[in-house]
């Protein structure tokens, strides 16, 4: 009767030799990187050696204190799987990073060609994705304000599939468009770069969904212009208001705001507000790595770089159309994972786009 264990060993040896041969051939054809080839070679050579003579494992087991061969092979297999996952994650991040840069470079290049020699003191940046229903009204309200310095409204069209871009152009405002949707962080970053191209002294961010009341823009500008702050937030929670949100979002915002206040040594009440103003020459102090959710990283970087940060109480209304970024449960869960990434980014990573001037001069 044929020993089942012996047959299994033979099969593993054959599989190992086939994989080693295949990866060696792929390496010669330059289809594999050095590190991946070495890991594959070590892993499957180990499998071959153990299959050829299982006693090889005994000395290793005694050395590392494991009870049996199965435990060792399980650990070895898990380590290999983790390595493959990390490799794939790194590749995906590199692809995403390249995509963001390509889309942003196209947008900046087109913007330079279309809007040269425009130098307002203030850039009012509106991030918009499929906000054709509400954005026109937001623009009209801004235009009705008495703003004491020259300004331009700049709409960042983040890959909209509706009439957002056309409406913005009909309203006579500046438009910079992503050919592909990148997310709120990436769009805000593009807006900052475009504002820097315009050589604006100040930048105000306001949402396109109509929740923010534009009438607070002159006050924000005054605070920045009079050097009362480098970064000013329009807070929904600085005082009692009629603004309502879900309990989960309310608790989450309070928690992350408190955490940011502690980590950044600042004092604000609404870290996630999209209503904020900043001096353009302070952009490098808050320039963030995150391309999606970014507000936590921005605030921590601002605090750690000792910007003067303040806030004003603003009134906000409920969204009447479209969807917030948290309208699905998975989005809410992903946000909390991204929050941890933002904190780590703020402490341990410097933005690859270190100098805004270099990006603007591309």
**Joined tokens for residue 265:** 């040594």
Q: What is the pLDDT of residues 185-241, one digit of tens each?
A: 999 999 999 999 999 999 999 999 999 999 999 999 999 999 999 999 999 988 766
Tens of pLDDT, residue by residue over 105-132, are 999 999 999 998 899 999 999 999 999 9
| Entry pTM | 0.73
By the 8 A CB rule, do 281 and 169 touch? Answer: no
Tokens standing for residue 273: 């507000």
Q: Which of 278, 132, 309 is nearest to 205 (CA)?
A: 278
Domains observed in the chain: 4-93 (no CATH), 118-360 (3.90.550.10)
Please list, residue by residue across 293-315, b when 16 or more beta carbons sit within 10 angstroms of its beta carbon and e when fewer do: bbbbbbbbbbbbeebbbbbbebe
Using CA atoms, how far apart are residues 175 and 165, in angstroms rounded to an integer? 7
92 vs 48: which has the higher pLDDT:
48
List all residues 6 or more positions away from 211 whose beta carbon is below 8 Å from its beta carbon. 316, 317, 318, 319
Give the contacts of 210 (CB within 8 A, at least 6 positions apart).
134, 137, 138, 317, 319, 320
- Planar angle of CA 258, 264, 265, nearest 5 degrees: 80
**From the CB of residue 146, how many other CB atoms can be counted at a distance below 10 Å?**
5
Count other Cβ atoms within 10 Å, centred on residue 286: 25
Q: What is the pLDDT of residue 48?
A: 86
Q: Is 153 helix (H, G, I), strand (E, B) or coil?
A: strand
Q: pLDDT grade, residue 355 (50/70/90)?
A: very low
Mean of pLDDT over the chain: 85
User: Of residues 344 and 317, which shows the higher confidence score?
Assistant: 344
């Amino acid at each position: 009767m044929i020993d089942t264990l012996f047959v299994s060993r033979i099969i593993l040896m054959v599989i190992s030799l086939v994989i080693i041969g295949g990866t060696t051939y792929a390496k010669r054809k330059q289809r594999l990187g050095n590190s991946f080839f070495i890991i594959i070679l070590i892993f499957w050579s180990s499998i071959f050696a153990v299959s050829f003579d299982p006693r090889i494992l005994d000395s290793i087991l005694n050395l590392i204190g494991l009870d049996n061969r199965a435990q060792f092979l399980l650990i070895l297999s898990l380590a290999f799987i983790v390595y493959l996952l990390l490799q794939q994650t790194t590749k995906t991040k590199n692809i995403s990073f390249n995509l963001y840069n390509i889309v942003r470079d196209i947008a900046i290049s087109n913007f330079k060609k279309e809007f040269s020699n425009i130098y307002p003191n203030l850039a009012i940046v509106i991030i918009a994705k499929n906000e054709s229903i509400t954005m026109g009204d937001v623009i009209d309200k801004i235009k009705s304000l008495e703003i004491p310095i020259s300004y331009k409204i700049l709409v960042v069209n983040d890959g909209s599939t509706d009439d957002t871009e056309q409406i913005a152009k009909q309203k006579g405002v500046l438009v910079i468009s992503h050919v592909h949707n990148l997310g709120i962080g990436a769009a805000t970053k593009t807006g900052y770069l475009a504002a820097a191209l315009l050589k604006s002294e100040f930048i105000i961010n306001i949402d396109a969904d109509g929740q923010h009341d534009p009438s607070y823009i002159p006050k924000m500008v005054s605070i920045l212009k009079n050097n009362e702050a480098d970064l000013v937030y329009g807070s929904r929670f600085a005082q009692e208001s009629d603004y309502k949100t879900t309990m989960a979002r309310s608790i989450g915002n309070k928690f992350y705001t408190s955490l940011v206040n502690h980590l950044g040594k600042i004092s604000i009440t609404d870290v996630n507000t999209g209503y904020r103003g900043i001096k353009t020459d302070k952009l490098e102090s808050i320039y963030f790595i995150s391309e999606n959710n970014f507000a936590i990283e921005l605030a921590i970087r601002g605090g750690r770089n000792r910007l003067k940060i303040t806030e004003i109480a603003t009134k906000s209304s409920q969204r009447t159309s479209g969807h917030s970024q948290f309208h699905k449960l998975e989005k809410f869960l992903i946000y909390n994972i991204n929050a941890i990434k933002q904190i780590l980014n703020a402490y341990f990573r410097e933005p690859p786009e270190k100098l805004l001037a270099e990006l603007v001069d591309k």
